[in-house]
Structure 1
Amino acid sequence: MKIAGLDIGTTGCKCTVFDDQGKYLAKAYRDYPVTRAVTGHEIDASAIMGAVYASIREMAEKYPDIAGIGVTSFGETFVCVDEAGNPLHPAMLYTDPRGQEECRELIEKLGGHNIAHITGLRPHEMYSISKIMWIKKHCPEIYASTRRIFLMGDYVVYHLTGKAQIDYSLATRTMAFDIKNLCWSRDIFEAADIDSNLMSEPVPSGTIAGVITQKSAQMTGLSTDTKIVSVSHDQVAAAVGAGAFDGTVAVDGAGTVECLTPIYDELPDIDVMYEGYFSVVPYVIPGKYVAYAFSYTGGALMQWCVETIAKEEKKLAGEQGISVNEYLEKMYDGLHHEEPSGLLVLPHFAGAATPYMDTGSKGAVLGLTTATTAADIYRGCMEGVVYEMYLNLQALKHSGIHFQKLHATGGGAHSAVWMQMKADMLNLPMTALKTADAGTVGSAMLTGVAIGLFSDLADAAAHMVEETVTYVPRKEMHERYQKIYERYRQVYHAVRPLM
């Protein structure tokens, strides 16, 4: 028996297969195009479904005994479909500029704080409900023909099973879900003048939708006994895959985006969360919640530095048979050992996420001299990402967090230099996990529990979550970073008026 996690991302999807002991076997990936223009950022939902079928088929050919597939996806993006489930328009991404006016209308009708207390979200046009309102206002013929409205996770589940259901965490990304009563908010839908009956049925994360349909079995090569599970929003799946199940531990997702995910054993202070634009999302364990504190550029900033600043170093690293990241880390260590870089890097190269949510903010590198090397800038970029996460940690301090350690996932967790820097700067132990893809692992864990392969999440974690190294904070380094942080936290306010 095998289990699989299906992760629907913004630019591609992957299907990862594990055996009955939770051991990784293989994965298949398919990408799909995203269209970005001044007027809109869109994706073809049909292309997503085609990629889903193709990636599952590739795995089913190797492992025909897949017993269950868990579906996790990115949030916010939705699509209106007809009676047959066919998309009626290109799906709008969360970055799409449309919906700003409609979001303001909701705030005027209900009040921003009231919306946050219902939904766990500070109102923003990135969420689905504002863009659904835009569709109704500007494309009334599409809305009139709409029979269902799906986010990408429940869209895929529906096409695989015929069941329209959405888990609580993904439903939250609409800004129309009541996180306390775990149902669609009547007040939000009435204010938006949208029919809530068009939405999928909300269910707990990890709920089986049913077995795969005959049509989808033919498309994928799976048995019609294969169960499909509605897992969660991708960040929730990543927290599960990191083995974080209560408020004593938080997750550091060190991927393209840097994301800190604390867990709350009860509903956090919504007013504190509101100030920092922190989302409050129902977790997979009843009564618990997670929040998202993130920077748009984590690993993406390192990649920018490599591709733009360190081209020669990349070539030299290739000649030595090591990664350019390792080469730059060694180069810096040889010059300065563990000294802070002396640079202040504002990592807003793709705008500012929490606690500012300022898409107009720009990146900045301060402190350059003629002696500055590519390795110095690379180190400064690493520091800037961590300073930004420390800033978020301070903003969360009075919300009810009490975690004592962090579990690190993603590609960045494999950098001993970066992990030690985070432990020192955040003053918390950092445990790196073996898997770089915690979201897929979490999806498979919840699937294994749903179909009875594992008795509960603790059993699943014992099989699938593997710790590697724990980095312990060093008092003297924390104090040195603290002095620099006092300057760093002023950079955004100094640079923003100029840019």
Structure 2
Amino acid sequence: MYIGLDIGTSGSKADLIDRNGNVLGSGHVSYGFSKTTGGYRELDAEAVWKAAIKCLYDAAAGKHVESITVSALGEAIVPIDREGNPVGPGIIGTDIRGIEELKEIEEAFGAKTLTDITGLNMSTIYSANKILWLKKHQPEIYKKAYKILTFQDYIIYRLCHKAVIDYSMASRTLLFDINKNDWSDILLSWSGISREKLSCPVPAGDIAGELDSSLAEELNFPESVKIVTGTHDHVCNAIGSGVCESGSCSNTVGTTEGLTAVLERSALTTESIENYQISCEPFAVKNLFNTVAWNNTSGVLLRWFVNEMVKEEKPEVIISTFAKMNKLMSAEPTDLFVLPHFSGAATPYMDSRSKGAVLGLTLDTKREDIYKALMEGANYELAVILEDLQQAGLGLKKIVANGGAISPELLQIKADILGVPVHTVKNRQTGTLGGAILGAVVSGEYSSVKEAVGAMVTENQVYEPDSGRMQIYREKLEVYKKIYPSIKEINHNIIH
């Protein structure tokens, strides 16, 4: 049996999963930022470690475990000492630190050269500029740090005392050469960041080591448990959705919304990465890559609406309110447009100063109209991203939606706006399932990721677009595309 351990921004979860994809035990622990003032976004790395241990214990204490595969949020940095203890804050990607340092990197190399090497569009979220900020502004922490890790290799290090990172996570640092699957000598040399400060890059699904004996005793696990490199969390979500071949696409709907499309490297050129602000990273299957495109606000919009407009804050009441609103709203498209930039704009705009907007309000507008328009806005944004991916070279064959924020109503809106069938899978915990699939392959249960997916992922309902609504949404999408450029300057002049 195999554990997928998924380290996220707002919580960690672990599932014990058998060879057929059945979940036999689960653990989940929520947490929040330890610091958010002044644009800082920090996670307490020690608290995340304790959460991970509790998740593992709750999922599988006393049971047979073959492997633990670790996936995690990308871009964050965690400075540690030789024992694995944090010696500084866990700084995540959306933290403002490193903005000036990114400018310095761009001035030194130029955006095109950086994209040629790393496969990344230029953004302030990456690890390199945050490491440089730490080096410049908190040199005592930088010097004290034995390693500066992401949350993936941080958890792996504490589980087995080996500093390894998979290619997909390494690629989110802006220090990794995706053409060679190794740290870029030219970027390390310029930055002054030594290889010794970083983990050793290895493929996803590689055995990092065996579980520390004292931890095995604490967790009541066998000492022979293999610690396996997972991936950037978007990639494990894709695998757990059954997405593992070129042309297939995973759409993860949660607080944010991600679109992970699998393709060959030749399908995504440096020019298309720059033009559409879509990054490219190594996938968990050899010689394949994947995009990482996302919308900053998706499911969180509905929670915001219920909290602030319906004034319900208890979790159980929020869920019942969602169900009530889903029944009240019309099946037909609304006349409203929501620009879902409530936390800035991600792909393809990468505009942290953009803000949300609701357009088309009248005295006839009902509460359920606004509720549905929030879902429509998130999916208009997704449709724009998908169009850019297709123009960049993605030959779309299949899209699979997953995540904790999906409902039948939302999935039908998604199919109608995107104009393609939207597939679903039975196990919604696709991130942990993706990790378990990699564990099953490395343990020899299956010969390949594709074979393991075939055995462990069970397809569920398919949502077909309604031809009438699809045509209306297609026309409305053309209007939606004009909103961001029309109000961009106004939004930038609004001081928050």
- Structure-1-length-normalised TM-score: 0.94
Report the AA paired with residue 362 of structure 2.
T
Structure 2: any 5+ residue segments left out of the alignment? 492-496
SS for the counterpart of 2:342 is: coil
2:276 is aligned with 1:284: no
Partner of 2:321: 324
Partner of 1:374: 367
Partner of 2:423: 431
Contact 1:159/1:216, CA 8 A, preserved across alignment = no
Report the AA paired with residue 327 of structure 2.
K
Distance in 2, matches of 1:102 and 1:474, equals 48
Distance in 1, matches of 2:456 and 2:115, equals 35
Report the AA paired with residue 330 of structure 1.
K
Contact 1:53/1:219, CA 8 A, preserved across alignment = no
Distance in 1, matches of 2:213 and 2:340, equals 49
2:457 is aligned with 1:465: yes
Partner of 1:479: 471
Aligned residue runs from structure 1 range 316-395, under 5 A? 323-333=320-330, 338-395=331-388
Deviates more, 1:260-269 or 1:382-391: 260-269
Contact 2:25/2:60, CA 8 A, preserved across alignment = no
Partner of 2:73: 74
| Structure 1 pair 372–496 and aligned structure 2 pair: CA distance change class (3 A) | same
Distance in 1, matches of 2:148 and 2:432, equals 25
2:48 is aligned with 1:48: yes
Distance in 2, matches of 1:390 and 1:81, equals 41
1:141 is displaced (CA, Å) by: 2.1
Distance in 2, matches of 1:412 and 1:89, equals 33
Partner of 1:131: 130
SS for the counterpart of 1:219 is: helix
Partner of 2:244: 245
Report the AA paired with residue 58 of structure 2.
E
Distance in 2, matches of 1:412 and 1:292, equals 19
Report the AA paired with residue 460 of structure 2.
T
1:388 is displaced (CA, Å) by: 0.5
Aligned residue runs from structure 1 range 77-226, under 5 A? 77-226=76-225
Q: Deviations over 1:287-339 (max 9, x none)?
A: 11111221111111121222222348x99x96xx9832232122123xxxx32
SS for the counterpart of 1:107 is: helix
Distance in 2, matches of 1:192 and 1:95, equals 21
Q: Deviations over 1:360-414 (max 9, x none)?
A: 111111111112111100111111111101111222232210012211111344x
Distance in 1, matches of 2:2 and 2:22, equals 10
1:100 is displaced (CA, Å) by: 1.1
Distance in 1, matches of 2:221 and 2:95, equals 36
Report the AA paired with residue 262 of structure 2.
I
Contact 1:409/1:433, CA 8 A, preserved across alignment = yes
SS for the counterpart of 1:170 is: helix
Partner of 1:258: 257
| Structure 1 pair 111–229 and aligned structure 2 pair: CA distance change class (3 A) | same
Distance in 1, matches of 2:95 and 2:144, equals 23
Distance in 2, matches of 1:122 and 1:303, equals 30
Q: How many pairs does the alignment contain?
A: 488
Distance in 2, matches of 1:431 and 1:85, equals 41
1:213 is displaced (CA, Å) by: 1.4
SS for the counterpart of 1:411 is: coil
* Partner residue of 1:494 out of 462, 486, 494: 486
Contact 1:273/1:396, CA 8 A, preserved across alignment = no
Contact 2:123/2:350, CA 8 A, preserved across alignment = no
Distance in 2, matches of 1:32 and 1:490, equals 38
SS for the counterpart of 2:38 is: coil
Report the AA paired with residue 469 of structure 2.
M
1:462 is displaced (CA, Å) by: 2.5
Report the AA paired with residue 162 of structure 2.
K
1:159 is displaced (CA, Å) by: 1.1
Q: Deviations over 1:449-472 (max 9, x none)?
A: 111223322332233211111122
Deviates more, 1:300-309 or 1:129-138: 300-309
Report the AA paired with residue 250 of structure 2.
V
Partner of 2:438: 446
Structure 1: any 5+ residue segments left out of the alignment? none
Contact 1:15/1:29, CA 8 A, preserved across alignment = yes
Distance in 2, matches of 1:394 and 1:273, equals 14
Distance in 1, matches of 2:12 and 2:359, equals 38
Partner of 2:494: none
Partner of 2:303: 303
Partner of 2:401: 408
1:39 is displaced (CA, Å) by: 5.7
Distance in 1, matches of 2:59 and 2:322, equals 32
1:488 is displaced (CA, Å) by: 0.8
Distance in 1, matches of 2:288 and 2:252, equals 19
Distance in 2, matches of 1:265 and 1:294, equals 20
Q: Deviations over 1:104-125 (max 9, x none)?
A: 1111111111101111112222
| Structure 1 pair 183–306 and aligned structure 2 pair: CA distance change class (3 A) | same
Identical aligned residues as a percent: 36
Distance in 1, matches of 2:363 and 2:455, equals 52
Distance in 2, matches of 1:72 and 1:152, equals 9
Distance in 2, matches of 1:118 and 1:458, equals 29
Distance in 2, matches of 1:20 and 1:284, equals 19
1:28 is displaced (CA, Å) by: 1.1
Distance in 2, matches of 1:152 and 1:256, equals 19
SS for the counterpart of 1:383 is: helix
SS for the counterpart of 1:222 is: coil
| Structure 1 pair 60–397 and aligned structure 2 pair: CA distance change class (3 A) | closer
SS for the counterpart of 1:95 is: coil
